[in-house]
Structure 1
Amino acid sequence: MTGGGARPSFPFSAVVGQDGLRLALTLLAVDPGIGGVLIRGQKGTAKTTAVRGLAALVPSSDGGGRAPFVELPLGATEDRVVGSLDLEALADSGRPSFRPGLVSDAHGGLLYVDEVNLLADHLVDVLLDAAASGRLTVERDGVSHTAPARFALVGTMNPEEGELRPQLLDRFGLAVDVVGSDDAAERVEIVRRRRAYDADPAGFAARHAAADSAVGAEIEAARARLASVTVPDRELTRIALVCLEVGVEGMRADVVIARTAAAHAALRGRDRVSEEDVRVGAELALPHRRRRD
């Protein structure tokens, strides 16, 4: 998010190419319960640009204004990330005092973790738990506190700098691999837009404001429609057969595909999941879960 006289983010609608990346982020904005998006790719492939651009236009999921955008620094302590409990307050008031962390700050918005593969595994676990459940539970010395934590989790990583453990990789709802364009005309357009933005960020953002507003409105409308979207048994069977064919373990993939398909149907203005919606969900939810022999 930007405010005051701050430099505006590069517009989401101005990102050239990277259709899979933009679609995955948009679907996550429609339904954060999908469980997060992992973006894998080398530097210079618009990973961070797209995330920040989306955050600037997404409405808050708990109502009122733009969604908060929180970036988690790699060196953050566990207390800074999840918050802490002041147990001394327990003796005074009969209940502990909760000091919110970055996860609570992201409630209703987007939590962004760059180089998530370099973050401590137990912190990645906590973030994925909260993103999927919409709740954060902090425990200290047998005392616990639960707070709402509905946010869209986005992690980016460069595989050349190390992989996530398979157990953590599976817990991300969706994953997208991004690469640099191999189309000369597209590369020229990327450079042209970047130069125009660097020369006049405010003017460039203004020229794309209408397109960005349209994306934000589509997300808001899809969120309102999502609860009424149905997934027919025929499509649930299709999901099960695809997951069995790929050989994924457990049921997480089935659940994520169904949820993603419903979000896609809502985004396209439909109240019933179709084969196309299932295909989109499978393309985003299965590649990082394929069994490796």
Structure 2
Amino acid sequence: MISEEELAAAFPHVPDGRENRSLNASWRAIATVVAGHTGLRFVSHAGTAYAKYAPDTGKAVVNVPPLPEGRAAHILALGYSAHEGGHIRFSDYSVKHPTPFGHSLVRAMEEFRMEAQVIKNYPGARRILQDIVQYMVLTGKSFAPTDEEKLRSATPNSLVTNYVLVRGRYLVNNQTAVEPRMNQLREELVARTSDELVDQIDDIIRRAGAAPSEGDLIPLADELIALLQQDAEQPEDGQNGEPDDSKPDDSDAGNGESDDSEPDDADAGNGESDDSEPD
């Protein structure tokens, strides 16, 4: 549990709890503006922050869970509202990759692609989104370095999806608080594959951040899966053509059978996510 004094030191620009009276109106206004939707319905259910949007009816709902006291309330409320409003405006709820692994990659890329669109249209949102990511790292909710044993036991799909999510936040939106976690994931990924392959993944991440729409992420996910499959098929030196078992094999790199490709750090989804991710 992080103290109010520690929050004050980390976020000196964030108001303290004495100004919480106006917070409810503030985050609702931010969500409305970012979403570009005047008919938002706001709810406050415990558990997860989420946004739901039905384009056929135009109905949209934003949930912000009950807030703590003090500076944390400002960080979370404003971050949630900017992120969820961004999903309503910039995400395409009809997009779905045909495989679970591919869909997880699309969802991970959409998190930072969508936030890049929010920042492009509302530059002041950059600080809000950086603050909530930093808060998640400081409180250990997500994006913080994990246990080395857990990292080594991660499936290839999970490792890649988490790397895409965290690396994208760093490269595309300059959310530097994720750097320790990003470096940890990158080191493990390079150990299992190669520097060259991880550099190619980084190139895909940069292109995903600049993609005009969520639908444009599907071919990028396919390209990434193809890279992993190609790498898995490469024989190791002196191994008589047998691939290294530590690398993602064809079945684990996108045949649609694995559920553990979901990112550990966040439900990187189209507007419906858990409180480990600034939604």
Fold-level similarity (TM above 0.5)? no
Task: Name the structure where helix makes up a greater proportion of residues.
Answer: 2
Q: State the TM-score, normalized to the length of structure 2.
A: 0.24
Could you tell me the TM-score, scaled by structure 1's length? Answer: 0.23
Comparing both structures, which one devotes a greater share of its residues to strand? 1
